[in-house]
Structure 1
Amino acid sequence: MTSQLSHLLENDNHELRVKMKQTLKDPVFKPLYNLSLDEERELAYQRLKKFLEEGHVSVYDFQTDPRRIFAAHEILGLCDGSVATKLTVQMNLFGGTLLKFGDKPSFKPILDNISVLEDVGCFGLTELGYGNNAVEMETTATFDEKTDEFIIHSPSTLSQKYWITNGYCHAHWAIVFAQLIIKGESYGVHGFLVPIRDKKLKVKPGVTIQDMGYKIGLNGVDNARLWFNQVRVPRENLLDAFSQVNKNGEFSSSIKGKRSRFIKMADQLLSGRVCIASMTIAACRSTLYNTIRYSQSRLGVNSDGTSSAPLMVYQLQQKALMPLLAETYALTLGLNKVKNNFAQLQTEQNAEKETSKDLIKMCCVIKPMVTWHSENTATIGRERCGGQGYLACNRFGEAIAGAHAGITAEGDNSVLMQKVAKELLEETTVQEIIKETSLSFVPGAITRLVSLSKPLSLVKIREKRVLSKLALKMQKAKGKEEIFQRWMTEESDLVQDVALSYGERFVLENFSHICKDQNNPLLEKVYDLYGAVLIKKHLSWYLQEGILNSSSVKKLEAKIAKGCKELGERLEELLEGFGIPSHLVYAPIAKDWQTFNDKEDDNVGEVSKDHPFIKSEKKEEKVKKEKTEAAEKPSTDKKSSTTKKAKTKAEAKAPVKEPV
């Protein structure tokens, strides 16, 4: 039975989520670790194909309920980060972009095939020399008026498309971003649908695809490097929802300015950030679940010297893990808010409207907060589980590597935080700056009336003050050069702090509203601990500002210790709220880890026996071996027969020697 907390955390599409989890009961989704690179990629592909064949999601969900696609990322995040990553490129970056900017009759068959993996795509935005400044990319798409075609070309090493997921093994198509050139004039970056392989996966002429090889994680993802040498595509293959080129080479666009057109064309990165956050927060819940379960069952020293005390009763373990649990709850609820807002603004009836600035800020801040938290959770959890945390089958390695992938994918976290800070500055008025600057001189005794019992008020004070401080500093900068220097070389810490304070306020405030609606005492305890941890995180700032004093610090420490202990006593309910069914609990440390380590079970660190993938691989090897032997046997017999005949013939011709 679904708990109240689980129903709350898994905010939408509850029946669909149950079906998705049922699909993951298929044995192909069970973990395997001792695999070659080729095997990891093939297994990830088979898993994705199996998941999509069930019809849980469609690329057209972006027009009706994008939360279905976000839910798919979340469920797969419990299982395999490589599969979730391949899904986000296939359904969101490739499929979502094609749907949004190239929804035309000629592309309809491809769009229909995306959701069943009959047409596999990749997303060619990033170049070796142009990541965060992709608007300056070098790849060109030059219009040839004579043939009514665009010529896609990679002019240099730095122009190669880099980190292209699905690119090395499986993609038939690439959405290639390139500088649109007509009669020698550049019209900025646009997207083009470019075939890179035929249906038999033979690489198309003029396309070069190279393997990026082993990574520190997510090796089920086939990342590639792509080059294009004068590759021609029809004019029809321009993704032309907002910019068009007619057969005479005349350009028109409903969006003014090259940079604005690029930002619009890269719009699917916004939903991509929600996809990344969804898969990562699910992996984070799984990591925390495994860590806490082990801490409950692993016995350490007790007062009588015997090993009879579960690690979870130790304050050391509680103060390490309970704040992570509280933050995981808070971020999950915050992400749900983002998903709901996205779905409301991005459905078909609102597709032509400008994306709201509030939604842009939310999407850009939630991905960094979730992925940084997930990395921190996995690192602390690995340490708190000792040597067991170092075994691959206990999943901390893939959690850490997966979080790091999320930290960089769909926009570097710190760069996204700069974007959030920039948006906030543009909304700040001179009156607000003057007001907050004046309040910073108010005696601490007055501001301390806010007290620790109202963490949201304290967090709001911090958000307003750091923003006003940055606004004042930037207001004094004159000219582009001085603004650049102030922003990029002098105040980077403050810029990051502004974005983070906004994100923390957004998440805490959303949590506060939910607590009022739910009237759940346990949820309120989680909220109180998260709020207290936020204050402690920025304690030095509150002390410097005179908002808190030494007495407040003592109260804060006591509040956190008490909160950790109280949550530690309610772990069954809180873990049940994560909504992780038993068949998706793979880590031995979260189950009967003693039996897993039994002397009679020489499992070499694998949790899956008789995995269907291994069986199929062995069967294929056996068939290949039999075919090879069958092919070689006649050849050997023929050779043997020929040799025998030759020998007989030679013996017949040889002179007979007389005996001496």
Structure 2
Amino acid sequence: MADTNRTRRQRSEQPRQRGKVDVDWLGRDLRGTWGDRRLAARKKVADPRFQRIDDLTVADHRQRAFEQLQLLADDGAVLAAFPKRLGGDDDHGGNIAGFEELVLADPSLQIKSGVQYGLFGAAVLHLGTEHHHDTFLPPIMRFEVPGAFAMTETGHGSDVASIGTTATYDERAEEFVIHTPFRGAWKDYLGNAALHGKDAVVFAKLITKGVDHGVHAFYVPLRDADGAFLPGIGGEDDGYKGGLNGIDNGRLHFTDVRVPRTNLLNRYGDVAPDGTYSSPIDSPGRRFFTMIGTLVQGRVSLDGAATIAQQAALAIAIRYGAERRQFNASSDTHEEVLLDYRRHQRRLFTRLAKAYAQTYAHERLLVQFDGVFSGRTDTPEEREDLETLAAGLKALSTWQALDTLQEAREACGGAGFLGANRLVQLRADLDIYVTFEGDNTVLLQLVGKRLLGDFAKQFKGVSKADIARFAADQFFDRATSLVGLRALSQDVRDLRNVKKSSVALRDADVQRDLLEDRVETMVADIAGRLRHAPKEQEMAAAAFNAEQHQLIEAARAWVELQQYEALAAAVERAPEATKQVLTHLRDLFALTIIEEHAAWHLEQGRISGTRSQAVTSTIERLLVKLRPHALDLVAAFGLGDEHLRAHIATGAEASRQAEAQAHYDRLRAAGELPTPEKRAKGTNPDAQPIAVAGAAPVPPSAFTDSAPSAPSASDAADAEEGATLASR
């Protein structure tokens, strides 16, 4: 009996492999265009000098991050994006690729570096002109002048256009007077503001000759050589935070602080000595968005860092799940590996598919970013596309990072809660990623507005007859869906057979059609409702406000489509064996997204009831197909023990389990294993009716142990089905 159970258990653990992952090829493909930059950054991540020490005080953590950043500056690792004539490499994509890897060392170091070089220094680079580059950038690059990026205010975060700080030009002195007129206009949450910042780029409304020309950036000294605030400047320490406590976030306020006229970063707007304002961009709105758009790299880098954090979390959880054993579901002598439980697979593999899709989507974003900022593809249209994609990907990847880190933590039980295994601290540090560089909800509104704008452009210059035909086609398509004709045609093709439905759902064209259709339908619906909205401002705003939820959902659907397309493209270029495994991963990503929005697809008549059922059953089959490749798929991330620094991901758990099993095997072989009470009595007084053979009752220890919850009878049924499928 024991031998039979052991054979069954081994078959469950090792379903028949179809396809084999070429880990080396996949690793190179995942690292993308700037793989060398990533590998160089990972060498630094592996250096203990750059790694986080968890039990530091806030003060000590701040000092350590400061010293670490000086080390990065000394070896030039953070200077890649700056001009070659000043000591950089003019490598914008490579700079971001290396920067985002620092999240593995310490997110505080990564973000402090981002404040110094990606915000403060980048503002001087992209908003200033040659005078500012030559004057201010060299000491910034050498980290001789730590700086703050003073945009956000206590009263205004994402709505930068409405900030209260003013910069009023004084013609007689040829100076700008920087002033915060009320408490809500204090600059807030600024890295380097509480302690280390010597200078700042301050965003304020430029006023000259009584005209407000909107938000512009000014270079403003903050502290003297002894670290004391200069006259007219004050501030506060933001204090302890929920994460990133290696960064000295703080507040700043200005009372009639004067700076020279030439401290205006004047690439997009300038003031002559006599106070005359000029700009190469006539439209105030377009000028504002152009200036803000030059700082898009913050969103690009957060998308990448959030994706890398997911890779790390999944590598830790899947390595651990492949070793940790719990409960005798199918054997009297061997406990089950956690990763063989179907629920455990679903909680991790679906998120693994999303991490892959986000990794490949980020690579596309990074290539587009580099094209624009290098000047190769720098057009207004490309910049608008870049801003839209960066906003959408940053929103979904940072939200998904929190979800994945939390699920990975729970999947590792009590071990996941220990600081030594990093998951809890990573989640705390990444929490703020969903808020800074643009609140995620606001960013998706930006994406949604772009989708509406693109929809409206289709009809620019189109005749009324063409519009009428379009409306008729839309009406016919909608009517076909709502009366069930589309679903009926699916049932006819599938013969209401779940297996045939599953085959259809694994077709890339079907997946793409469902994902595209959701975007197009939602955008058209919103546009149709807004077309009849009143023109009067207040009523028009109310009408748009009523559509915000649907607009954000449409934006989310569009971003999911971009992620799918990126993963699908990776499938097509993969070597044959790896392609098969990546196809399963692509299918899992697509069907997970479709399942999450199943209610919409059913309500809209886009899928039949049979196909809706097949979505879930197909996901279950895909989990079985991916189980043998799980360790290879996370190995391709290229994260070694020195990068993860999580004890449970080092193989220590496998050694512990082997030791325990060897102990019981010795006792069993020697005949010294005590007989369980229920066997000694010849009966089982605790037995409960269980419908599925091989499912063990939950032991009392399951309610006190910190390990993941016990498998249910359905888990055992899933394991049974998985073994059956694998043996076919």
Q: TM-score range by the shorter chain?
A: 0.7 to 0.9
Q: Over residues 219-264 of structure 1, what are the superposed CA-to-partner deviations in whole Å (9 max), with x where a residue is unaligned?
A: 1111110001111111000010111101111111122243333222
State the TM-score, normalized to the length of structure 1. Answer: 0.86
Within the candidate set 531, 554, 560, 1:504 is matched to 560
What does residue 24 of structure 2 align with?
3
The answer (yes or no) to whether the contact 2:324–2:653 under 8 Å persists in 1 is no
How far is the alpha carbon of 1:539 from its aligned partner? 0.6
User: Which runs of no fewer than 5 residues in structure 1 stay unpaired?
Assistant: 598-660
Letter in 2 for 1:554: Q
How far is the alpha carbon of 1:308 from its aligned partner? 2.6
Letter in 1 for 2:307: I
Change (3 A) 1:350 1:557: closer
Between the aligned partners of 1:524 and 1:352, the Cα distance in structure 2 is 35
Residue 300 of structure 1: SS of its match in structure 2? Answer: coil
What does residue 445 of structure 1 align with?
487
How far is the alpha carbon of 1:439 from its aligned partner? 1.1
Change (3 A) 1:447 1:362: farther
Residue 316 of structure 2: SS of its match in structure 1? Answer: helix
**Greater CA drift, 494-503 or 431-440:** 431-440
Letter in 2 for 1:524: T
Residue 3 of structure 1: SS of its match in structure 2? Answer: helix
In the alignment, structure 1 residue 262 sits paired with structure 2 residue 288: yes
Letter in 1 for 2:82: Y
In the alignment, structure 1 residue 71 sits paired with structure 2 residue 109: no
Q: Over residues 82-115 of structure 1, what are the superposed CA-to-partner deviations in whole Å (9 max), with x where a residue is unaligned?
A: 1111122211211111111113235424312333
Letter in 2 for 1:401: A
Between the aligned partners of 1:402 and 1:30, the Cα distance in structure 2 is 14
Letter in 2 for 1:445: A
Between the aligned partners of 2:82 and 2:374, the Cα distance in structure 1 is 10
**Greater CA drift, 395-404 or 440-449:** 440-449
The answer (yes or no) to whether the contact 1:86–1:221 under 8 Å persists in 2 is yes
Letter in 1 for 2:360: L
Between the aligned partners of 1:161 and 1:204, the Cα distance in structure 2 is 16
Residue 441 of structure 1: SS of its match in structure 2? Answer: helix
Within the candidate set 534, 541, 548, 1:478 is matched to 534
**Greater CA drift, 443-452 or 333-342:** 443-452
What does residue 474 of structure 2 align with?
436
Give the RMSD, CA atoms, in angstroms.
Answer: 2.3
1:567-606 alignment, distance < 5 Å: 567-593=626-652
The answer (yes or no) to whether the contact 1:588–1:596 under 8 Å persists in 2 is no
Q: Over residues 169-220 of structure 1, what are the superposed CA-to-partner deviations in whole Å (9 max), with x where a residue is unaligned?
A: 2212111011111133211111100011234433222211210001111111
What does residue 183 of structure 2 align with?
157
What does residue 458 of structure 1 align with?
514
Within the candidate set 404, 419, 424, 1:377 is matched to 404
Letter in 1 for 2:548: S
How far is the alpha carbon of 1:381 from its aligned partner? 1.1
What does residue 640 of structure 1 align with?
none
Within the candidate set 173, 180, 183, 2:199 is matched to 173
State the TM-score, normalized to the length of structure 2. Answer: 0.78
Q: Identity percentage over the alignment?
A: 30
Residue 297 of structure 1: SS of its match in structure 2? Answer: coil
Change (3 A) 1:471 1:101: same
What does residue 155 of structure 2 align with?
129
Letter in 2 for 1:366: L
How far is the alpha carbon of 1:571 from its aligned partner? 1.7
Change (3 A) 1:209 1:434: farther
Q: Over residues 292-331 of structure 1, what are the superposed CA-to-partner deviations in whole Å (9 max), with x where a residue is unaligned?
A: 1111121111223556322111111101100000000001
Change (3 A) 1:484 1:542: same
In the alignment, structure 1 residue 34 sits paired with structure 2 residue 72: no
Residue 322 of structure 2: SS of its match in structure 1? Answer: helix
Residue 172 of structure 2: SS of its match in structure 1? Answer: coil
How far is the alpha carbon of 1:53 from its aligned partner? 2.2
The answer (yes or no) to whether the contact 1:127–1:161 under 8 Å persists in 2 is yes
Between the aligned partners of 1:356 and 1:24, the Cα distance in structure 2 is 32
Q: Over residues 29-67 of structure 1, what are the superposed CA-to-partner deviations in whole Å (9 max), with x where a residue is unaligned?
A: 333111111011111222222233222231416983311
Change (3 A) 1:559 1:596: closer
In the alignment, structure 1 residue 60 sits paired with structure 2 residue 82: yes
Within the candidate set 406, 417, 422, 2:449 is matched to 422
What does residue 582 of structure 2 align with?
523
Between the aligned partners of 2:37 and 2:448, the Cα distance in structure 1 is 37
Count of residue pairs the alignment pairs up: 597
Letter in 1 for 2:171: E
Change (3 A) 1:190 1:60: same
In the alignment, structure 1 residue 326 sits paired with structure 2 residue 353: yes
Residue 148 of structure 2: SS of its match in structure 1? Answer: strand
What does residue 314 of structure 1 align with?
341
The answer (yes or no) to whether the contact 2:353–2:585 under 8 Å persists in 1 is yes
Change (3 A) 1:356 1:265: closer
Between the aligned partners of 2:538 and 2:452, the Cα distance in structure 1 is 18
In the alignment, structure 1 residue 487 sits paired with structure 2 residue 529: no
What does residue 44 of structure 2 align with?
23
Q: Over residues 596-618 of structure 1, what are the superposed CA-to-partner deviations in whole Å (9 max), with x where a residue is unaligned?
A: 99xxxxxxxxxxxxxxxxxxxxx
1:263-282 alignment, distance < 5 Å: 263-282=289-308
How far is the alpha carbon of 1:354 from its aligned partner? 5.9
What does residue 119 of structure 2 align with?
93
Within the candidate set 344, 358, 364, 2:385 is matched to 358
Within the candidate set 206, 214, 235, 1:209 is matched to 235
